[in-house]
Structures are given as structure tokens and as C-alpha cells.
Amino acid sequence: MTMDFSKILSISGKPGLHKMVGESKNGLIVESLTDGKKFPAFSHERISSLKEISIYTETGDISLKDVLKKMKEIQDGKPVDNPKKANSSDLKALFEQFVPDYDKDAVYVSDIKKVFTWYNLLLEKDMLDFTDDDEEEDETSEEKPEDKATDETTGEKED
């Protein structure tokens, strides 16, 4: 089963990632992926789902989900070395392996550290399963439009 990135949240001012587990009258009930504690997240807080987050590139944006998927492929399912201990140039060089055309003016080292930290956390919690995505891509790539239209009543190709 693929992870639903719309239910994994980043909350401004709160470290780590959180999973939405319910709703309340004036916000959400979330569970920290780091320590498992549940608490309310209020509507006035800046809350972003991972599905909404993208990385700036020279040609547009790439979704965080696609970046995490590429990281998992390149890292062969292994975590990234502790991003908090690495220097800026090493972090940028590593990030460039995953997103070669990332916008170096708009993506800060702090953003790169956050992506690496989130990747490691999601990997540790076994929440980076992209198998359903791969199957959907296979199905859509197999469907090819016909060169000529088919008559629905006879099933024969029209000229």
C-alpha cells in the first residue's frame, strides 16, 4: 500500500513530521512520527501536507514525493548520512544527485537538511512504499491510443 502523503504533515514550529489521525472542532489531531505522542494542531498554525510540498528546479517544480522516491532508488533504500553533521557543500552535492537541476538560489541548505531528515524518518517508519505508483505508471504506459477511431457498434476501424 502506498503512503498517503496528504496525511503526513509538517507543522511550523514543531520538529519532525506528524501523521493526521483525526479532526477536532478547531483543527487536527496529529501523532508525532518521532515519539508517537498525539496532540492537537490548530487551524491558525502553518500546516503543510507532504503532498503539497515541492522543490524548486531550474525548469519548474518537482513534488517532494518524486524527490523522496528518487532518493530511495539512488540510496538503494538506505538512509542518508546524518544531515545535521554534514557540511553545506557535501549536502548540496548529495542533493544534486537526487535533483540535478534544483534551483540553487531558491533551495537553501536548511531545506536540504529538512528533506534528508524527513527521508530518513519516513524510511525508518517504513512509510516510503511506492509500489502502487510503479504499477499505475506501468498501466498507463501500456495504454496506447489507436491510430484510427473504432466504430463502437461493429468494433471495426473506421476510415
For the stretch 32-36, contacts whose Cβ atoms lie closer than 8 Å and that sit 24 or more positions apart, written own/partner, are 33/8, 33/121, 33/122, 33/125, 33/127, 34/121
- CA distances, 157 to each of 50, 143, 149 (Å): 46, 18, 6
pLDDT confidence of residue 155: 52
- Global pTM reads 0.81
pLDDT confidence of residue 134: 52
pLDDT confidence of residue 149: 43
pLDDT confidence of residue 43: 86
pLDDT confidence of residue 152: 47
Boundaries of every domain in the chain: 5-50, 53-141
pLDDT confidence of residue 141: 46
- Pairwise CA distance, residues 114 & 121, whole Å: 10
Tens-binned pLDDT, residue by residue, of the chain (159 aa): 567 899 999 999 999 999 999 999 889 999 999 999 999 999 899 999 999 999 999 999 999 999 999 999 999 999 999 898 999 999 999 999 999 999 999 999 999 999 999 999 999 999 998 876 555 554 544 444 444 444 444 455 444
- CA distances, 159 to each of 145, 146, 151, 156 (Å): 16, 13, 10, 10
Are domains 5-50 and 53-141 of this chain identical in fold? Answer: no
Determine the topology of domain 53-141 in CATH.
Arc Repressor Mutant, subunit A (1.10.10)
Please state which architecture CATH assigns to domain 5-50: Roll (2.30)
Of 118, 133, 137, 135, nearest in space to 4 by CA: 133
Grid coordinates representing 66 are: 518524486
Grid coordinates representing 129 are: 512504499
**3-state secondary structure (DSSP) of residue 138:** helix
CB atoms within 10 A of CB 5: 18
